[in-house]
Structure 1
C-alpha cells in the first residue's frame, strides 16, 4: 500500500521502471537474503528514511516498486514528492511491514532514490545558476547504462529539459557524421531525404558550419565549445534567422561548469546541454533507520 502525497506523473518514456527494479533486486537478492533470516518471519517493523544533505527528491516510483515487489504488505508513507527541495535531516518517508522485507528492500530502494535525487539535485544547481536569463538546462545521452529513462525523468524533476531520449527520436548530426557524409550540407541533405518525422539537429564547430545549418533551417543548432565572442555572434545569426521566419533554436555544449554556465547563458543561447548532470554523479546521502 502506497500513501500520499501524490507524486508527479511519470513521462511516457519511463516504460522500463519495473524491468529496472527486477534487475536491481535480482542482482542484490540472488538466491535469497540470508542475513534477513536473523529476524523472525512474523516480526513487523517501522523505519524512517531521512536526507542527510540538502537535495531535490526524485525516485518515489522506483522506491515504491522495490518495496511492493519484495512484499506487497509493506506500506510506504511519503512526506515529500518528486521535485521537492529538502534539507538535511528532513523526513522523506516511513515504511511499515514485515521486518525481513524492509531489510531486504532497503539498499535497492535507497540506491534508486539516492542516484535519481543526485541527478535532480545536480540539474537544479545549474538551473539556479542561470535563473533569469531565459536559458534552459538540457541533458544528453551520457547517462548511466540501464537508467537512461529514469535519469531523464530526474532531469525534469530538477527543472531541466530533456534532449532526445535516444537515437530513435531525433537526428543529431555530429562531427563524425559530417566527416563521413562529406560536409555539413551533404549531411543535412541526407537527413532531410530520410523523412524520418523527427527533429533535425546539427552540431557546428565553426561559424561557417553554423551559417550552413541556419541556411538549412534545422530545428536545432548545437554550437560546440565556441569561445564566448563567437557564441555571441552565433546567437546574433540565429536571432536574425528567426526574425526572418526561421525556426532554429540555438544550444551550446562543451566544458560547461557551475562557474561558467551563467556567462554562457548570458550570451543569449536558448539552451545549454551538459553531460555532467547525468554522468558525473554524486548520490544524495540518505539514511534508513528502524524506529
Structure 2
C-alpha cells in the first residue's frame, strides 16, 4: 500500500495491517493461491493501461474508499505490478452521494483494474451500505439526545470495517468485542445469582474495564444502579417503561434502549430520554449500496 493510503486508513481509525490481512484473504478467495485472474490474463495484453471510475448506482452514503484504494494497490503487489496503479478519491467517506456520482478514479494496467474490481466493490459496497443504513437511523433520532449504537452482530472478519462504516454514517461504536467492555446479560445474572452479584464479580475481577448491565424491569434498573452500574441496557422495554427508568435512574447511569427496535419507531424511543438506541441491524441486515467500476472507453 502507498503511504497515502496507509495514512488515510489510520485517519479513519483503521489499522493498515489489519486491512491488509482482510484484503489479502479476500483476494485469495477470489483469485486462488496464485493470485490469478484467468479471464483478464487471457483477454488483455499485459502492456495495456486504462482508467476506470468507481460510480454510485444508487443514492446513499459512501464509506470505505481508502479500503478500496488498498485493494487496487495490493493487487499490484501480489501480481508483480507494485506501484503501477494510481487511485484518486473524488468523494470522501461519510459523504452523501447520488446515483451516477463518481467516487474515485483508478488508472493502471487494465488487467490489474479488472482483477481488483470485485474485491474492491464487495468491500466498498458493503461498507457504504452500512453507512447508508446508519445515516437513516441517525436522521430518525435527530433533535433528541439519543445516539445510534452498533453491536457485535457483524460479519466475521469484517468487524473493524463495518464498525468504521457505522461511524461514517453518523452512528457510534459500542464495544469492539468481549475483551474491552464487560456486558452482564441475562445468562450472566442467572449464573451469578442476580444482577448485583454479577456486577460485583466483574468489577472485582476487572476493576478497570467498563461494565454494562442488561435489565428487564424498572426495579432491576434501580438495583443495578445502587450496586454501582453506570451503564444500563434496557432490554425490550416499551416507551412508557423506558420513561419510567429514565425518571427513576436520573443522571446516575447512561441508558441504552435495545431489543427489536425498528426504524419506524426510532424517533418514539429516542424521545423517551434514553442516551442510546442499540441497533444490531446496522451491521447484520444492511443492504449494500450498489457501486460499479466503469472502464473508460476513450
Tell me, yes or no, if the aligned pair for 1:204 and 1:224 is still in contact at 8 Å. Answer: yes
1:35 is aligned, of 4, 28, 39, to: 39
Instruction: Give runs of ≥4 in structure 1 deviating > 2 Å.
Output: 1-4, 12-15
CA distance in 2, matches of 1:3, 1:23: 22
Alpha carbons of structure 1 residues 170 and 14: separation in structure 2 relative to 1, 3 Å? farther
1:127 is aligned, of 132, 138, 145, to: 138
CA distance in 2, matches of 1:262, 1:217: 30
Pair 1:54 & 2:59 matched: yes
Unaligned segments of structure 1, at least 5 residues:
none
CA distance in 2, matches of 1:158, 1:219: 27
- Greater helix share, structure number: 2
3-state SS of paired residue (1:144): coil
3-state SS of paired residue (2:111): helix
3-state SS of paired residue (1:165): coil
Deviation at 1:205, TM superposition (A): 1.1
CA RMSD after TM alignment:
1.7
TM-score normalised by L of structure 1: 0.94
3-state SS of paired residue (1:49): strand
CA distance in 1, matches of 2:249, 2:59: 38
Q: Following superposition of structure 1 onto structure 2, how do residues 269-288 of structure 1 map, counting pairs within 5 Å?
A: 269-288=274-293
CA distance in 2, matches of 1:137, 1:67: 33
**What residue is the counterpart of 1:249 in the other structure?**
254
**What residue is the counterpart of 1:260 in the other structure?**
265
Alignment length (residue pairs): 284
Deviation at 1:195, TM superposition (A): 2.9
Tell me, yes or no, if the aligned pair for 2:58 and 2:99 is still in contact at 8 Å. Answer: yes
**What residue is the counterpart of 2:210 in the other structure?**
199
Deviation at 1:15, TM superposition (A): 5.5
**What residue is the counterpart of 2:243 in the other structure?**
232
2:19 is aligned, of 17, 26, 48, to: 17
Deviations 1:93-115 (A, max 9, x none): 11110000001000000111000
Tell me, yes or no, if the aligned pair for 2:14 and 2:160 is still in contact at 8 Å. Answer: no
TM-score normalised by L of structure 2: 0.92
**What residue is the counterpart of 1:185 in the other structure?**
196
CA distance in 1, matches of 2:61, 2:169: 7
